[in-house]
């Protein structure tokens, strides 16, 4: 699955949302989140993000590993 990390915070461009074929982005108060069970790993959103906030979970920089859990929890709330 793909994960939205910290650079998205306060950004909320929705270029990624528009290209997602399964509509698995959810908009929170501060940033966007990807629902882990809905993402099909198509990669379409990655080049669209202007702040490079979207990563495959395996490529997430170490300091943002906690965003795997944050995306899972927050995408359920939205
Ligand atoms: Fe949507 Fe594809 Fe991005 Fe997953 S990788 S969030 S399915 S655009």
**For 31-68, how does the pLDDT look when each residue is reduced to its tens digit (9 = 90+)?**
999 999 999 999 999 999 999 999 999 999 999 999 99
User: What does the pLDDT look like over 7-26, one tens digit per residue?
Assistant: 999 987 899 999 999 999 99
ipTM reported for the complex surpasses 0.95: yes
Beta strands in the chain (DSSP E): 2-4, 25-27, 32-34, 54-56
Nearest residue (by CA) to ligand 1, atom 4, is 39
Q: What is the distance in A from the centroid of ligand 1 to the CA of 24?
A: 7
Evaluate: CB of 18 within 6 angstroms of ligand 1: no
Q: CA-to-CA distance for 42 and 62, rounded, in angstroms?
A: 23
Tell me, what's the pLDDT at 54? Answer: 98
**CA distances from residue 26 to 62, 63, 76 in whole angstroms, order as listed:** 23, 22, 8
Evaluate: CB of 53 within 6 angstroms of ligand 1: no
Q: Taking the CB of residue 49, how many other CB atoms lie within 10 A of it? A: 19
């Amino acid at each position: 699955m793909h994960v939205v990390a910290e650079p998205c915070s306060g950004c909320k461009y929705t270029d990624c949302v528009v290209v997602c074929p399964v509509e698995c982005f959810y908009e929170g108060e501060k940033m966007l989140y990807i629902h882990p069970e809905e993402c099909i790993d198509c990669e379409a959103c990655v080049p669209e993000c202007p702040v490079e906030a979207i990563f495959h979970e395996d490529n997430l920089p170490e300091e943002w590993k906690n965003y795997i859990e944050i995306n899972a929890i927050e995408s359920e709330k939205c």
